[in-house]
Amino acid sequence: MEKELEKQPMKTAVAPYGPTEVNLANKLGERRVELLEAARKVVNPHRADITVFYPASGPDVANVLVATDAKKLILVDKDPHGVNILREIKEVGGQVTNVFQIGNKTEFDFVWNGRNRKLVFHNVEINKESIDKLLAEVGQYDVYFEKKSQGFGTSEITEKLLGNLKPGGHAITDFELDSHIGFEKHQLDEKFEGESYWYGNHRLNIHRKLRNVKGMGLRLHLNRALFNADYTRNGGYIGIDESAYEPTFRTYREQLLDLRRTYEAIPAETKEEVEDKENIKREIVERLYKAKGDMSKVLNSPENLERQLQHLIEMRALSSESHELFVERIREAYSSPNRPTEQQLERFVEEGRKVFREVFPEWVA
């Protein structure tokens, strides 16, 4: 079956696969399943016959099925994943009943969790040449699903992807949307904010679409640019490293320039739009210029080591021996004469302010 799918340009076949007993927690992890099930209760609480659209999907059937319980799944990726999708359906306990392939599109009929479903895979690279034809064929969808934010090259493409989402439908992403672009956020339980529930590049966010907004793509790109700059400005995942100042702030400068270009491109013709941009400006200044750092972001400070230890514990990535060694390392850091100081943290924050003033000289005194 799999060899045939690889070789045949067009085919119809009945797959000889029966249902497989599978523990999804073994495949995805207990916390991931818990997180996705919480998402499903928001986007499809009654397990209705909904359609979900998943760009840059790879062969990822498991995450999108658990998160949506959709009747129809539309996956799009620039790389051919037909064989891998077939295998993944089996791995999550599905029974494939039919496969049809023509050109760059493959359809899978299968049974999962007691329901008949259809998965349509488009082997297409999403770009300005392909997007309109793809969305015309796909039609509107009830859920937009991204596991790891892609950007897709231009804000116009992102605007079209979210524009095709039905009003009242939901977006599941690892980035934030907001009311300025016609979405309202559904706040999940606070426990899902922890790093042990990490999702994509950040954390799982769920938003309900209220309306289409002109310039949505630009505003969304600004949200991403602000997150990226904020992340770098605060030392990234590991923490502030004095030996990495030059590459860190070179990256930060480029992120700020991207943020400025995007901000300036957002239209502000009406009084409301002008006020809206002023609010955005204030938020950027608060988060990137006025906000203080904290010692948990300074590499090899005891506070930073405690943060790393907590992350490793949550990820179950420590043996008992390694745990003891890490705790001892923290004790030594607290008593070390070379322990990082508040002055080191302030130097890093001030260096960030200096770069900010260079990019936004008229925004701050």
- Residue 337 is given by DSSP the state T
On whether both 188 and 279 belong to a single domain, the answer is no
Q: For residue 251, what pLDDT is reported?
A: 92
Instruction: Give domain status of residue 113, yes or no.
Output: yes
On whether both 87 and 166 belong to a single domain, the answer is yes
Model confidence at 195: pLDDT above 80: no
Q: Mark residue 189 as left, alpha or beta (left: phi above 0; alpha: psi -120 to 50; beta: remaining).
A: beta
Q: Return the structure tokens found at 34.
A: 């818990």
Strand partners, 42: none
Q: If DSSP codes are grouped into helix, strand and coil, which group holds residue 325?
A: helix
Instruction: Give domain status of residue 116, yes or no.
Output: yes
Instruction: Give domain status of residue 120, yes or no.
Output: yes
Instruction: Give domain status of residue 219, yes or no.
Output: no
On whether both 324 and 260 belong to a single domain, the answer is no
Please state, rounded to an integer, the average pLDDT across all residues of the chain.
85
Q: What is the DSSP annotation of 230-297?
A: HHHHTTTTT-B-GGGHHHHHHHHHHHHHHHHHHHHHS---SHHHHHHHHHHHHHHHIIIII----GGG
Confidence class for position 21, pLDDT limits 50, 70, 90: very low
Highest mean pLDDT among 8-22, 81-95, 216-230, 243-257: 81-95
On whether both 184 and 281 belong to a single domain, the answer is no
| Mean pLDDT value across residues 76-88 | 94
Instruction: Give domain status of residue 73, yes or no.
Output: yes
On whether both 150 and 281 belong to a single domain, the answer is no
| Mean pLDDT value across residues 240-261 | 87
Model confidence at 89: pLDDT above 90: yes
Q: Check which CATH number belongs to the domain holding 131 and give it.
A: 3.40.50.150
On whether both 256 and 304 belong to a single domain, the answer is no
On whether both 15 and 153 belong to a single domain, the answer is yes
Percentage of the chain exceeding pLDDT 90: 47
Instruction: Give domain status of residue 84, yes or no.
Output: yes
| Mean pLDDT value across residues 18-23 | 51
The C-alpha atoms of residue 333 and residue 337 are separated, in whole angstroms, by 8
On whether both 147 and 209 belong to a single domain, the answer is yes
On whether both 130 and 155 belong to a single domain, the answer is yes
For residues 325 and 262, the answer to whether their CB atoms sit within 8 Å is no
| Mean pLDDT value across residues 244-268 | 89
CB atoms within 10 A of CB 82: 19
On whether both 74 and 199 belong to a single domain, the answer is yes
| Range in 16-20, 145-149, 200-204 the model is least confident about | 16-20
Instruction: Give domain status of residue 218, yes or no.
Output: no
Instruction: Give domain status of residue 220, yes or no.
Output: no
Model confidence at 141: pLDDT above 60: yes
Better-scored residue on pLDDT, 301 or 119: 119
On whether both 326 and 282 belong to a single domain, the answer is no
Domain containing 50 equals 2-213
On whether both 119 and 189 belong to a single domain, the answer is yes
Model confidence at 192: pLDDT above 50: yes
Confidence class for position 90, pLDDT limits 50, 70, 90: very high
Model confidence at 37: pLDDT above 80: yes
Q: How many domains would you assign to the chain?
A: 3
| Mean pLDDT value across residues 171-175 | 87
